[in-house]
Structure 1
Amino acid sequence: MFNIFDIRLERGILTQESRILGADCYSLIWVRFGQCVFTFRGKTIICRKNELLLIPAGIPAAELRGTGGIRESMMVRFSPNGAFTTGSLPILARTEPLRWMTHMPELLLEKLLVIVEQWTERDRYFSVMCAALLTELIVTINREVDEGEKAPSSIQHIERMKRYIEDQYRSKITKVEMGTCIGVSPNYAAALFRKVTGLTISEYVHLKRMKTAHYMLQHSQLTVQDISDHLGYSDPSYFNRVFKRIVGKLPSEVSAERTIRE
């Protein structure tokens, strides 16, 4: 478990001067899009879309925040508590920063957004919940790093399957279709998708649908029932449960927020 000192979600154009991160704890940064620039020990690291940067404790670092950069990134600054040893997770035992291109951005985004939500709302026991969620996140990252770089052919297969899902996500998508999409057996396609992305095919489809549903609830006049039908959910109650699990709110709550804004 960890002690968390700060969690930040930043979007848009950054115009501030450089920001000192300090060396008193670890800094974990993930770039969703755009880029972030960091300096340490006279070196410069540029992190771009879907790249992670873990700066160990003990390394003074700074983020260069010049004008004109449009990006979205998340940063968590933390340290292990007294009962935790860095040797339990190899990436925390490193003495140099780790820069890593993740192939499971959807999974990391889902986990990070929950951490940000907990940290922002500060409900009872939020610090314990954030520490538990961060532990799960670090373990997920460490497992991906342990497995090493994926074969180019595997990445190509994943990108083809993702594109297929982007085109067909409103319909039922199975591992049979995924196997046909990349010319392999259904079981191999499903196993490869899970191994690389950290998500099952079904979980990925639900994430895509809920992202679309959230946008439609915020920016259209459609009802929850209309959106549920549009996204291929014949059972509205099931749609509500999936939306609540992924987004953290009920569709009706998001729709009500739209009404208040209007």
Structure 2
Amino acid sequence: MLQIMSVNFDNEIPQWRTNLETIPYNVLVVVRQGQVRYEINGNVVIAEAEDVLFIPRGARRSGENKDGIPHQKHTVLFTCEPGAETGIPFVDQGHFIKFRLSPSQYAYHRCDRLYEEMRGGKSYRSIICLGILQELLGMIARELEQPALTPSKLKYAEAVKAYLLEHYREQIEIARLAALIGRSPNYVTAVFKEVYGRSPIRYMHELRMQEACSLLLGSNMTVAGISQYLGYYDTSYFHRVFKKYCGLSPTEYVTQSQRSGMPPLINTIT
């Protein structure tokens, strides 16, 4: 049986550090931005955006901002009932792990939800939080069982991702992405999905929806203006896409944010 001790979100804390100690609990670390320098059992480990670490109970651990530059990360501290097995190999065996979890945006979303639930006082909080932690650990265990990706696949997928990050407001065609890496359109879709868990076009829509949420809350642009800005020239289509990816209409998203004082959590992976 797992027992959550605390859930933290370290949001660009200046001079963040934790002293070297033997920890009496397990730590799950999900890095969102920047880099973190750890020393774990005498080894230096650098974790950066999209990296996940599992630091087992009994490890000698210290940590600090790498080169003094603040970072963003989620940490979950938890224990296991003595003698009981969780069914998660790396937890039961107490193995340190570090790798990149895909899709990272979904992991971030679940960490956000876990952090929010731990801070609240709603009914069934402990059950919900335990379920989210188990889901995260299960996702990691499943990823660890997958065959390792070849360097060429990672190179192609990263090149396509970099292009989408820069051009997501433009009209994106698979043929253009294929020409970018010199492979076929079917290969581009397959390798991107293998690495990042969704198609390039889906990822483009996710980037647009994340930007739409920011603009709805942080600008004076109209919904029609945001639609045009993000490359949706049919506003009704923008409404449909927004609700599909965010679960709310643009108006509902703004209303809920104003009512609660914080943006609603959205799940861009369905």
Normalising by structure 2, what TM-score? Answer: 0.76
Q: Across the two proteins, how many residue pairs are aligned to each other?
A: 258
Q: State percent identity of aligned pairs.
A: 24
Shift of 1:209: 1.0
Q: How has the CA–CA distance of structure 1 residues 223 and 77 changed in structure 2, closer, same or farther, with 3 Å as cutoff? A: same
Q: Could you tell me which residue of structure 2 aligns to residue 127 of structure 1?
A: 126
- Paired AA for residue 244 in structure 1: C
- Report matched runs for 1:117-196 at 5 Å: 117-147=116-146, 149-171=148-170, 173=172, 175-196=174-195
Do 1:224 and 1:251's aligned partners in 2 also have CA atoms closer than 8 Å? no
* Structure 2 counterpart SS, 1:212: helix
Most deviating of 128-137 and 62-71: 62-71
**Cα deviation per residue 1:230-255 (whole Å; 9 max; x = unaligned)?**
22443253244146339999432377
Q: Could you tell me which residue of structure 2 aligns to residue 9 of structure 1?
A: 9
Q: How has the CA–CA distance of structure 1 residues 19 and 215 changed in structure 2, closer, same or farther, with 3 Å as cutoff? A: farther
Q: Could you tell me which residue of structure 1 aligns to residue 52 of structure 2?
A: 52
CA–CA distance in structure 1, aligned partners of residues 253 and 244 of structure 2: 10
Shift of 1:191: 2.2
Shift of 1:81: 6.3
Do 1:111 and 1:133's aligned partners in 2 also have CA atoms closer than 8 Å? yes
CA–CA distance in structure 2, aligned partners of residues 227 and 36 of structure 1: 35
CA–CA distance in structure 2, aligned partners of residues 102 and 115 of structure 1: 17
Q: Could you tell me which residue of structure 1 aligns to residue 267 of structure 2?
A: none
* Structure 2 counterpart SS, 1:205: helix
Do 1:17 and 1:65's aligned partners in 2 also have CA atoms closer than 8 Å? yes
Do 2:242 and 2:250's aligned partners in 1 also have CA atoms closer than 8 Å? no
CA–CA distance in structure 1, aligned partners of residues 63 and 108 of structure 2: 21
Stretches of structure 1 that go unaligned for 5 or more consecutive residues are none
CA–CA distance in structure 2, aligned partners of residues 99 and 212 of structure 1: 30
**Cα deviation per residue 1:60-116 (whole Å; 9 max; x = unaligned)?**
533346993311111111235699733x32222343321224464334323322333
Shift of 1:131: 2.3
Do 2:243 and 2:250's aligned partners in 1 also have CA atoms closer than 8 Å? no
* Structure 2 counterpart SS, 1:58: coil
- Paired AA for residue 237 in structure 1: H
* Structure 1 counterpart SS, 2:70: strand
Do 1:13 and 1:71's aligned partners in 2 also have CA atoms closer than 8 Å? yes
Runs of 4+ deviating beyond 6 Å: 81-84, 246-249
CA–CA distance in structure 2, aligned partners of residues 144 and 66 of structure 1: 27
Normalising by structure 1, what TM-score? Answer: 0.78
* Structure 1 counterpart SS, 2:71: strand
Shift of 1:53: 1.4
CA–CA distance in structure 1, aligned partners of residues 69 and 147 of structure 2: 31
- Paired AA for residue 215 in structure 2: M
- Paired AA for residue 125 in structure 2: F
